[in-house]
Amino acid sequence: MQPERKRFGYLDGLRGVGAVQVFLLHATAALFGYQRPYGPEIILADGQLAVFVFFCISGFVLASAYRSPSSSSVRLISARALRLFIPTVCSCLFAFAVWLSVAPLIAHPVGAFDPTRTLGQGAWDTLLYILQTIAIGHPDSSLLRGMPGIEHLFSTPLPALNPALWTIHIEFVGSIVVLALSAMMRSRYRAAVLIIAAAITLRSLLLPFVVGMAIYYYQPRYQHWLVTAGLLIAASVISIAASNSTYFGWAEWVAQIRWILSAQSAFSVQKCAAAILVFVAVVTCPSAIRLLSSANMAVLGRYSFPIYLTHMPILAFVGRPLKEYNLLVGLGSTTASVLAMCLCIGLTAVASEIFLRVDRWSIQLSRKVAKKPMGRPPDLLAREPRIAEIF
């Protein structure tokens, strides 16, 4: 029997594909702009779909890790926090450093920060942004919105230092949910636990974690390629419709249900549904598993979290100002955008190489925290793919 890490290694490849989609989404928005209606090509840059796939992957992999934990819940949660928050803090500091480097060269606000702000103001905003990202999440996506005593914390808007980090809060809360459900799954009422959890999280951003966990416990059999094709086509139709602000009746109905947890919009409901279909299609298709397990995909997966952490500051603080400069010197719009895109790809590659070391260090530190009393590595970290807990 293969170790879990090897069995689920293809999920690293799936993360790598998703990281490329996220990069292309933000690069297209920052440098080229969108022109609706979108066609099938939007799938290549469907970063919103990719994020929900990340959540499904996390639910799946963490269900495996927490199934027979060898450490206390406190240790596991602490390890998870270090794994997520250390790279997050470093990403925010990196974004501030990039802004600080280019601010003297920019005469007017471009991107997230106003270059006229003083060093002290920028540093203070960065500190507040880090605390908000870690503790309560970003205003538009926080699971704590609407809770007594929390809403006023979102009243003061902060500069969007690295908007991609909105997922970190969701990931951490989703990890706690999976850990709690894993304890309940040791009873004989597994199906009931998952059904109730899905009902409670139906209109929440936590639903993909529950679905990913359910797929792990009740892994469907491999399907014929026609079934896989059908799932992917259905996912594409649902996701492209959402990108074009076309919402199906069932998505609008789900978005209006009044359950316990905060709501998704119809847009998010459709993206979530499409991501679940994509995830099911991948885990039940041997050809997809083989493709995503290839050496090239493994390398892409290894760099997926560093890419995710570093690309937004580069696009906002370097790419957009460079495009404007290229336009000022007389270059055409397409040429200016392509040149800025090439530079951003190169800078992101360099930054990702540096952040790969941050990523590894956070994993090593989280392993030490989650160790059993006798010092043996916990089953949790031995089972997880390299980058299985990000986004």
pTM of the model: 0.89
Buried b (16+ CB within 10 A) or exposed e, 257-288: eeeeebbbebbbbbbbbbbbbbbbbbbbbeeb
Q: How far is CA 390 from CA 16, 33, 129, 172, 366, in A?
A: 11, 28, 19, 9, 13
Residue 224 clears pLDDT 50, i.e. is over it: yes
* pLDDT number for residue 258: 73
Share of residues in the chain with pLDDT > 90 (%): 52
The pLDDT score that the predictor gives to residue 379 is 42
Mean predicted confidence (pLDDT) in 149-165: 73
* Closest of 131, 172, 168, 137 to residue 151, by C-alpha: 137
Residue 148 banded pLDDT, cuts 50, 70, 90: low
Determine the pLDDT at residue 169: 92
Residue 376 pLDDT greater than 50, yes or no:
no
Does residue 259 carry a pLDDT above 70?
no
Q: Provide the phi-psi class of 157: left if phi over 0, else alpha when psi is between -120 and 50, else beta.
A: beta
Q: pLDDT value at position 320?
A: 85
Alpha carbon 210 to its chain centroid, in Å, reads: 16
Cα–Cα distance for residue pair 93/82, rounded to 1 Å: 16
Among 130-134, 263-267, 285-289, top mean pLDDT goes to 285-289
Task: Return the number of other C-beta atoms located less than 10 Å from residue 134's C-beta.
Answer: 18
Average pLDDT, the chain: 84
Residue 81 pLDDT level (bands cut at 50, 70, 90): very high
Q: What is the pLDDT of residue 114?
A: 59
Span 344-359, average pLDDT: 96
Q: What per-residue confidence (pLDDT) applies to 375?
A: 43
What would the mean pLDDT of 202-231 be, rounded to a whole number?
89
* pLDDT at residue 118, rounded to an integer: 67
C-alpha 272/C-alpha 202 separation (Å) is 10
